[in-house]
Chains A and B, each alone.
Chain A
Amino acid sequence: MGVDSKRRYLSQLEAEGLKEVVPDDFPGKVIPGGNGGNIVVTTLDSVINWGRSNSLWSLYFGTSCCAIEMMQTGAARNDYSRFGFEVARASARQADLIIIAGTIVNKMAPVLRRLYDQMAEPKYVIAMGACAISGGPFYYNSYSVVKGADHVIPVDVYVPGCPPRPEALLEGMIMLQKKIKTENMSQKVNPIDGYDEGEIV
């Protein structure tokens, strides 16, 4: 539905007769915003979301070539600490973002899952590079590559490229910040619920 500066509630549109906003085959869930009854909660939401999105600390997790471009994004010319991603933490219990930079292999998949489970909520995931999205150049004829990191953990933002430029990774991170700003505290769904059984939220 996107981020709008002017809030419009479905009930408002219904009243005005302009309801044709959501088509029938829309592949998501539409949550009606309420009739202005929860003004206090929405302001609290925006403060909390502002705090969360502007200070995401990522975990050191780079397996192969994309890790070099991630290090280059953290270095002096393109600097991700101007957006709040100040430090990269070595321990998963102190991080709230994991950037999967590199190929995930059959032997590494349980390690990734364990690291994700060790993180405290709320936690977010960015899949960087073609290998983490779908197996990349190693899709055909390889017996040991997991064809996409979203077979192991649920992913929020996908950044394509082989390897993606630092500017592309920064756009992915800013897109994640925008996604966090639209969250609603009372209706927050944990993406790992039902993930192992195959339901995708």
Chain B
Amino acid sequence: MTDQEVNTKMKTEEYFVNMGPQHPAAHGVLRLLLTIDGEIIKNVEPDLGYIHRSIEKMCERDSYQQIVHLTDRMDYLSSHINNEAVCLTVEKGLEIEVSDRVKVIRTIIGELTRLASHQLWWGVMGMDLGALTTYFYAFRDRELINDIFEETCGARLTMNYFVPGGLMYDIHPNFVQRTKEFITHFRTKLPEYDRLLTGNVIFEKRMKGVGLLTKEDAISFGATGPVARGSGFASDIRKKDPYSAFDRVDFKEALFTEGDSYARYKVRIMEMWESMSIIEQLIDNIPEGNIKEPTKAVIKLPKGEFYQRVETARGELGVYINSTGTKNPYRVKFRSPGFSNLSVLNHISKGVKIADLVATMASFDFVIPDIDR
């Protein structure tokens, strides 16, 4: 039978398949209800809530220093940047200006976190498409960043080093030298990553032209981060509303216009190069200054609403605190980047095959506790 005869003479039905909460390519506990016809997808409906831990309700009974500890567990791959968001909001409410030393250290540690998150993304993406080597390469290099964090901050994954007002304690004397050694080592490794995946014929055929997202759709759906920058929407908060020490460093914003998965991949690789350049500009002259501005032991924000946005490895995280003057906030809302990015998935996966859906989800880089909070 020719193709045309197959399409007109054979009668097929649509059916539901559950890409369930426990799945090797689901990046966590995400359940997708697929309506498919053969291998072509007609509709994708996400079902969330399998890791919903009610963090926003818990914040209404905690003090402001305790809220910082809960944000670590939301998007655990860029945990320092989440902490920074809450600390900046509280400092905005109390109208404290932190010293230059604190700003520079927060920026350097934030960029190291972004590097670690993108390394894990690269490793897991290769694994989703079937290449297990990338997993081992990425984790080998990620351990070096974990070592730097462990020496200064005390833990490897959930660190809680930033407090409202500054840092918890000063950096270790070895911090500067170990960071410089890591940057020199990683500059020789990143071209190796390129040789493995970027120029690979199989990889290009699976990623080019898959999952197209236009610029108007990206703005309307509220997509941010590398997902939006791969479609031409210049959404980098580090350039639009600079915070900490980002107004005194010089870096390029990664922007491509094709809108497919390959463009999103190139955005993240370019962000890794730019992060290394930012760290090199700041690491040699960390200014002297106070580590922590004095605040009261019980922080009370004045009556009002405060909003602060930062750029995590996944996109724009916004923290909205509404306070009535007591020692607990009245309402805390986290505008998470993954939630808005997920709403794009149904729109761009109509008419593609299931294997393309897996490649698209790998290029989106979801972390499900960030979506479910």
Contacts and interface: CB of A to CB of B under 8 A. Distances in A.
Contact of B53 (A61, A72, A115, A142): A142
Interface in B123-140: 135-136, 139-140
B327 interface: no
A108 interface: yes
Interface in B119-173: 120, 135-136, 139-140, 142-143, 146, 156-158
Given A72-B143, A111-B22, A105 B50 contact: yes
Contacts of A69: 156-157
Contact of B70 (A77, A105, A108, A137): A137
B174 interface: no
A32 B58 CA distance: 51
A89 to B, nearest CB: 9
Interface string B286-327: 000000000000000000000000000000000000000000
B101 interface: no
Most chain B CB atoms below 10 A, which of A111, A137, A140, A165: A137
Contact of B76 (A61, A64, A90, A115): A64
B79 to A, nearest CB: 9
Contacts of A111: 20-22, 50
B52 A105 contact: yes
B213 interface: no
A67 B27 CA distance: 10
A37 to B, nearest CB: 46
Nearest to A77: B143
A79 B52 CA distance: 31
Contacts of A137: 69-70, 73
Interface residues of B, number: 35
A63 B57 contact: no
B373 to A, nearest CB: 11
B136 A75 contact: yes
Interface string B73-94: 1001100000000000000000
A145 B54 contact: yes
Contact of B51 (A92, A103, A142): A103
Contacts of A72: 139, 142-143, 146
A158 B185 CA distance: 38
Chain B residues touching A, majority SS: loop
A90 B22 CA distance: 8
B110 to A, nearest CB: 19
Given A65-B158, A137-B70, A108 B54 contact: no
Contacts of B24: 60, 90
A143 B49 CA distance: 13
B53 A105 contact: yes
A108 B50 contact: yes
A108 B52 CA distance: 10
B22 A60 contact: yes
B52 A144 contact: yes
Interface string A50-71: 0000000000111111011101
A86 to B, nearest CB: 13
Contacts of A140: 58, 61
A61 B24 CA distance: 9
A121 B62 CA distance: 44
A190 to B, nearest CB: 23
Interface in B22-71: 22-24, 28-29, 49-54, 57-58, 61-62, 69-70
A102 B28 CA distance: 10
A130 to B, nearest CB: 11
A107 B54 CA distance: 13
Interface of B: 20-24, 28-29, 49-54, 57-58, 61-62, 69-70, 73, 76-77, 120, 135-136, 139-140, 142-143, 146, 156-158, 368-369
Given A65-B158, A111-B21, A144-B54, 8 more contacts: A90-B24, A105-B50, A107-B50, A108-B51, A115-B22, A137-B69, A138-B53, A140-B61
22 contacts: A60-B22, A60-B24, A61-B22, A64-B368, A68-B77, A69-B157, A72-B146, A77-B139, A77-B140, A102-B51, A103-B51, A107-B49, A107-B52, A108-B21, A108-B50, A111-B50, A137-B73, A138-B58, A141-B62, A142-B53, A144-B54, A163-B157
Interface of A: 60-65, 67-69, 71-72, 75-77, 90, 92, 102-103, 105, 107-108, 111, 115, 137-138, 140-145, 162-163, 165
7 closest residue pairs by CB, A with B: A75-B139, A65-B76, A90-B24, A141-B58, A108-B50, A142-B54, A76-B140
